[in-house]
């Protein structure tokens, strides 16, 4: 395994790490460049096309696709299937992108896979994201998973994951994000995202805008994909929603499930769970079955780190990686619904490549004060991708001139300051990027 002679290891696996080797073997994606499927097809071809024959549930959308994928994988695992899960971005470690039966890949195993992929990567020069996708396909093939739940990275048609031939495809919703690549209207973005629909493969849609639903319908008709449409073929109704979770009823084409319980917080997570359950029901055509008993039990134990995650009380500290306007609006709605009357102190940082003003706008009116910070993380677009907190400050001054704010460049120090300056009944909300959440989550949990 350590025999690769590309000149990069200089002594074997003990002298490098998966992060280091990923950086050496790849290049960052570019924020303004539409991707192509040709490089990843060439990369996969050189390693034996590990995605061929891989049973996949393919999950796309603007917001909620990571939660939907994670919930679906959890339910399928609870039903006894061997399940791979590939989502992005990771919070703390790149190994989070390679999960089988709820367990992250061991660093040494990932390193070995990357060493095996190194000659092909040197020949193709893939992006960092393409290389992680290829490594995930290879890992899931080696692990002989019954199903791999694969989250789309960006868009749909030209995303590196769109080489798969899935058993079912999912579109959670469509909103404005990555407009410099995908287009500046929800309709343009939707036309890119529906490219994951494949001939004859069930397509589960959670979109609600009439114009986008028509784009989904037309694409599915074009490729003869059976369409499952929320509000028509499946749906849910919330019965109770509070700070401990939700109780809801759900309808599928072949059954109804009343009084389901979900511990994930917020009405938007009920919608994500609804789409996840519908996607699993669509897999029945491929012989994958989940009983109602298993479904009920699994929903109670589903967890998605960094999404409306409460990690402390007195003051309440909530982590949520809302990084686009739709996600931020969902977060603000959840905070207002679940914690009415609480003063909210925001700790905010953002990644480049998202519309800063549109993303930050929903939460400013909910904050009593803000602490603006930054982060350093390995991303698909390289390092140094955080927005300068002084740029965030300029937007705050323009949109909310009376909001008190300060800049603290160290993200952990920013959260600790927010906690120290809060009253026991206050709420500290850490948001704006999952990379910010990843930078502070582990040390805060150790406090």
For the segment 60-89, what is each residue's pLDDT rounded down to a tens digit?
998 899 999 999 999 999 999 999 999 998
- pLDDT score for 100: 98
The SS3 assignment for 119 reads: helix
Kindly state which CATH superfamily the domain 13-301 is placed in: Mur-like, catalytic domain (3.40.1190.10)
Question: How many percent of the chain have pLDDT more than 70?
Answer: 92
Phi and psi at 157, nearest 5°, equal -55, -45
Mean per-residue pLDDT over the chain, rounded: 91
Query: Does this chain's domain 13-301 share its CATH topology with 309-446?
Result: no
Map tokens 């789409």 to a residue.
275
Distance of alpha carbon 293 from alpha carbon 1, whole angstroms: 44
Class of residue 64 by CB neighbours under 10 A (exposed 0-12, middle 13-18, buried 19+):
buried
Map tokens 């979109």 to a residue.
207
Pairing label, strands 103-104, 99-100: antiparallel
- 3-class SS shares of the chain: helix, strand, coil, % to 5: 40, 20, 40
Question: How many percent of the chain have pLDDT more than 90?
Answer: 80
- pLDDT score for 326: 86
Statement: residue 183 has pLDDT above 60: no
Instruction: Let me know: does 320 contact 344? Beta carbons within 8 Å.
Output: no
Give tens-digit pLDDT for 115-163: 999 999 999 999 999 999 999 999 999 999 999 999 999 888 999 999 9
Radius of gyration from C-alpha coordinates of the chain: 21
Q: Where are the beta strands (DSSP E) in 74-174?
A: 83-86, 99-100, 103-104, 147-151, 168-171
Contacts of 80 (CB under 8 A, 6+ apart): none
Kindly provide the b/e burial profile for residues 111-124, where b requires at least 16 CB atoms within 10 angstroms of the residue's own CB: bbbbbebbebbeeb
Give tens-digit pLDDT for 322-362: 988 888 999 999 999 999 999 999 999 998 877 899 999 99
- pLDDT score for 203: 97
Give tens-digit pLDDT for 20-52: 999 999 988 776 667 789 999 999 999 999 999
- pLDDT score for 177: 54
- pLDDT score for 31: 63
Instruction: Let me know: does 259 contact 239? Beta carbons within 8 Å.
Output: yes
- pLDDT score for 352: 85
What does DSSP assign to residue 96?
G
**What's the predicted TM-score (pTM) here?**
0.91
Top CATH class, 309-446: alpha beta
* Intra-chain end-to-end CA distance of the chain, in Å: 40
Statement: residue 2 has pLDDT above 60: no
Structural domain boundaries in the chain: 13-301, 309-446
């Amino acid at each position: 395994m350590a025999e690769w002679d590309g000149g990069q290891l200089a002594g074997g696996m003990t002298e490098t790490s998966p992060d280091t080797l990923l950086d050496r073997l790849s290049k960052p994606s570019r924020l303004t460049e539409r991707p192509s499927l040709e490089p990843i097809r060439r990369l996969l071809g050189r390693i034996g096309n590990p995605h061929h024959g891989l049973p996949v549930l393919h999950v796309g959308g603007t917001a909620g696709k990571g939660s939907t994928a994670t919930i679906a994988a959890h339910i399928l695992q609870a039903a006894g299937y061997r399940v791979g899960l590939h989502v992005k971005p990771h919070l703390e470690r790149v190994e989070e992108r390679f999960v089988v039966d709820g367990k992250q890949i061991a660093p040494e195993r990932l390193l070995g896979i990357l060493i095996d992929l190194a000659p092909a990567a040197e020949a193709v020069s893939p992006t960092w994201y393409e290389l992680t996708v290829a490594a995930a396909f290879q890992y899931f093939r080696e692990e002989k998973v019954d199903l791999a739940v694969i989250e789309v990275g960006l868009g749909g048609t030209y995303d590196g994951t769109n080489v798969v031939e899935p058993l079912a495809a999912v579109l959670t919703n469509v909103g404005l994000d990555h407009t410099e690549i995908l287009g500046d209207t929800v309709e343009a973005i939707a036309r890119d995202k529906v490219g994951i629909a494949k001939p004859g493969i069930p397509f589960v849609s959670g979109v609600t805008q009439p114009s986008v639903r028509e784009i989904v319908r037309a694409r599915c008709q074009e490729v003869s994909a059976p369409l499952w449409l929320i509000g028509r073929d499946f749906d849910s109704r919330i019965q109770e929603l509070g700070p401990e979770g939700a109780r809801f009823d759900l309808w599928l084409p072949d059954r109804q499930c009343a009084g389901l319980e979900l511990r994930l917080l917020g009405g938007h997570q009920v919608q994500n769970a609804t789409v996840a359950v519908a996607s699993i029901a669509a897999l029945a055509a491929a012989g994958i079955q989940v009983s109602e008993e298993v479904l009920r039990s699994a929903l109670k134990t589903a967890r998605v780190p960094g999404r409306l995650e409460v990690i402390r009380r007195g003051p309440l500290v909530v982590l949520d990686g809302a990084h686009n306007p739709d996600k931020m609006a969902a977060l603000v709605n959840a905070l207002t619904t679940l914690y009415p009357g609480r003063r909210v102190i925001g700790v905010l940082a953002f990644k480049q490549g998202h519309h800063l003003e549109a993303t930050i706008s929903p939460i400013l009116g909910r904050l009593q004060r803000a602490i603006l910070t930054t982060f350093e993380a390995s991303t698909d677009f390289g390092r140094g991708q955080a927005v300068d907190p002084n740029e965030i400050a300029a937007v705050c001054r323009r949109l909310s001139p009376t909001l008190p704010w300060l800049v603290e460049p160290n993200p952990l120090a920013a959260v600790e300051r927010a906690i120290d300056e809060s009253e026991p009944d206050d709420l500290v909300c850490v948001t704006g990027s999952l990379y910010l959440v990843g930078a502070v989550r582990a040390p805060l949990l150790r406090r």
